[in-house]
Homo-oligomer: A and B are copies of this chain.
Amino acid sequence: MKEENTQDLKETANVLKLLGDKTRLSMVNMLSEQECCVCEFVEIFQMSQPAISQHLRKLKDIGIVKEQRKGQWVVYSLNTESEYYLLIKDVLNHVPSERDKFTWLEKNGFRIICN
């Protein structure tokens, strides 16, 4: 039945509020394709590193993404265990793919460093 994957309304509103920022929505959309580290987001969004960190922190605090340190880098990925994962996947179905951002990173030599 419908109720099965249902979440508390207030919490869902909070998730939607987080996704309701074009930078964060894009981050989550990218992470649904591939992991990504902070410095890569900085290049993509042309935004200060602290701004990126703060967006990621909000997404992490609510459990949407998780982080993993790899040497001096911190790699973020979608948390598929999140109670909001299904909601997020449904939302992302309505947003165009951003795979091209990763090819742009590679072309400009911003991707290599993280492997």
Q: Which residues of A contact B (CB under 8 A)?
A: 2-3, 5-10, 12-22, 25-26, 29, 86-87, 90-91, 93-98
Chain A contact residues: helix, strand, loop or mixed: helix
List, in ascending order, chain B residues with CB within 8 A of A20's CB: 13-20
List, in ascending order, chain B residues with CB within 8 A of A3's CB: 96-97
In the complex, the chain B residue whose C-beta lies closest to that of A94 is B87
In angstroms, Cα B19 to Cα A18, docked, is: 11
Q: Which 5 A-B pairs have the closest CB atoms?
A: A17-B20, A16-B20, A13-B22, A90-B90, A87-B94
- A23–chain B nearest beta-carbon distance, Å: 9
Taking a contact as CB atoms under 8 Å apart, the answer to whether B2 and A97 are in contact is: yes
Taking a contact as CB atoms under 8 Å apart, the answer to whether B96 and A6 are in contact is: yes
Known: A20-B18, A91-B87. A96 touches B9 (CB 8 A): yes
Taking a contact as CB atoms under 8 Å apart, the answer to whether A9 and B87 are in contact is: no
- A44–chain B nearest beta-carbon distance, Å: 13
